[in-house]
Chains A and B, each alone.
Chain A
Amino acid sequence: MKTIEALISLMLLLSFTSASLLSAPAYPSQLQKQQLAEDIWRIAYLKGCFNQSVPSINAENEMESCLNPLVAEIETQTGLGIAFSPQEAAGQELPDENAVVLRKTIVINGIPKESILHVG
């Protein structure tokens, strides 16, 4: 009898454990953050932030001037932490350690350089 009671208690415990281990997914998930990061990059590109019509010693500053208001606007709409580096363009909130990182190559004065976007 005691064995039966012990077995029933064990099965009950396993039911509770499995129900508690299956937790609802956090939003946005890493996949969705990745997609949003691609969207942010694409919008920055479409807005011409990475276009350089003529070589300029102020190229990086011009990029930052284009990126900063865009980042602020997207941050207001989404609440996401966004930061571009080495172009120093970031919102009020910095991305956390779970941020998605996108690495892209841009051309500044004819020289390919890496640009890193953090979204989190």
Chain B
Amino acid sequence: MSQSNGFVSFDLLFAALPVILMLAHMLTVAEMASETGESILQSKETPGKLATIADYIVKRGAVERSSQGTGFLGTASYRPNVIDEAELGRIDKKLIMEWMELDSLEISWEKGEGNCIYRLVLLEGEVKKLYVCGE
């Protein structure tokens, strides 16, 4: 009797071992898939944020402007896609990073690190690419 009980236990152990190994492997793969999915979703979100920031810069934030009159704090006229370097330098990148929940933000005429998008603008009459990069 005790000999047959021992035999049954061994059989159960050898049957359960592959199941335990598969479970462990499945949990590891599920964790890796979840991390991959999270980073891919983030990579889809960041270009959208950068596109929004670039749109603001190119349409209002860093464009040439002229003010007229003083009523209602004056009337400003903006020239979208015509960049004023001085205005570009005055863009508050830290504030924008805070609003958009970005870890880094770079706005320049050269492609930088991380995710980058660009817009086409005029600078002193010349067509140039303005890069907005961030993570």
Can you list 16 A-B pairs, Cβ within 8 angstroms, ordered by A? A1-B15, A12-B22, A15-B33, A16-B33, A18-B37, A19-B32, A22-B37, A22-B41, A25-B43, A27-B117, A36-B120, A39-B120, A40-B120, A42-B81, A46-B81, A78-B120
Once the chains are docked, how many angstroms separate the CA of A40 from the CA of B58?
Answer: 13
Contact partner of B26 (CB less than 8 A), chosen from A8, A36, A78, is A8
Main secondary structure of the interface of A (DSSP, over half): helix
CB–CB B43/A35 < 8 A: no
CB–CB A5/B22 < 8 A: yes
Taking CB atoms, residues of chain A closer than 8 Å to B122 are 43, 46
Number of B interface residues, CB 8 Å? 35
Contact partner of A22 (CB less than 8 A), chosen from B36, B48, B55, B81, is B36
Number of A interface residues, CB 8 Å? 32
Contact partner of A35 (CB less than 8 A), chosen from B36, B41, B54, is B54
A residues neighboring B (CB under 8 Å)? 1, 4-5, 8-9, 11-12, 15-16, 18-19, 22-25, 27-29, 31-32, 35-36, 39-40, 42-43, 46, 70, 73-74, 77-78
